[in-house]
Amino acid sequence: MTVLSVNINKIATIRNSRGGNMPNVLEAAVNCEKFGAQGITVHPRPDERHIRYQDARDIKPLLKTEFNIEGNPIESFTKLVLEVNPAQVTLVPDAPDAITSNAGWDTITNKKFLTEITKVFHANGIRVSIFIDPVEEMIKNAVDTGCDRVELYTEAYAANYLKNREQAIEPYVRAAETAVKCGLGLNAGHDLNLDNLKYFNDNIPGLMEVSIGHALISDALYMGLEATIKAYREQLK
């Protein structure tokens, strides 16, 4: 069964919009676990407009499941990850002003950098996943970096799902097959939701983990957090 890691960035966005500590991000992380999340994901950005670096520090000791920290491995991010020591770090090539993740790594151009930073995290016992587009050549070159997993950037799948789901998923199936052949673990995330998640999960070989935030937290406004997490878990059976 594919693991569900809940990204709680949007909860922090609501908190930061008003100041203070409502909603309480730490309580939300603990509740997500209690309601069935098998992991918690955060993506702190340099401007700390949602998850703050201190949130990552405070969340880690509260968790019983896996902690995944996503982000561009600039110096401040790398120091944070090494300090917090999560189970997994997901490397994402975000520009500082990016609203949300919008591209995967070019593992050919950035191979030397990704290889060096992967060694740094591995030396501290942290599993490394590289955020990547569903391009077979990029996945093959990711192997050379020494990473443990790749996370498929699923925005294109989600955007085209309602038009033609068979066509939308085709490059992801090929990418997943390539990852499995190369011995890489496989994660996925971005714009997965209750409409498109089951089809993706049913058709992607070797899928180990999905990280879902925006859609899940949005659904929770209507359904409640506990019912929403249960609904997403059902899609992954």
pLDDT value at position 97?
A: 61
Tell me, yes or no, if 50 is annotated catalytic: no
43, 50, 151, 209: which one is catalytic? 43
Q: pLDDT tens digit string along 199-225?
A: 999 999 999 999 999 999 999 999 999
Which residues share a beta bridge with 130?
91, 150
Q: Write down the CATH number for the domain with range 3-235.
A: 3.20.20.70
Q: Give the pLDDT confidence score for residue 7 in this predicted structure.
A: 98
Give the pLDDT score at 234.
98
The helix/strand/coil state of 202 is helix
Structure letter (DSSP) for residue 185: E
Which of 33, 50, 70, 209 is catalytic? The answer is 70
Beta strands in the chain (DSSP E): 3-7, 39-42, 66-71, 88-91, 127-132, 149-153, 185-189, 207-212
Q: Which of 33, 50, 151, 190 is catalytic?
A: 190
Residue 83 tokens read as 């300090």
Low-confidence ranges of the chain (pLDDT < 50): none
pLDDT digits (tens, 9 = 90+) for 52-65: 999 999 999 999 99
Task: Write down the domain spans for the chain.
Answer: 3-235
For the question of residue 70 being annotated catalytic, the response is yes
| Residue 89: per-residue pLDDT | 98
Task: Specify the pLDDT at position 100.
Answer: 58
Name the burial class of residue 121, with classes exposed (0-12), middle (13-18) and buried (19+) by CB atoms within 10 angstroms of its CB.
buried
Q: Which pLDDT score, from 0 to 100, does residue 103 have?
A: 81
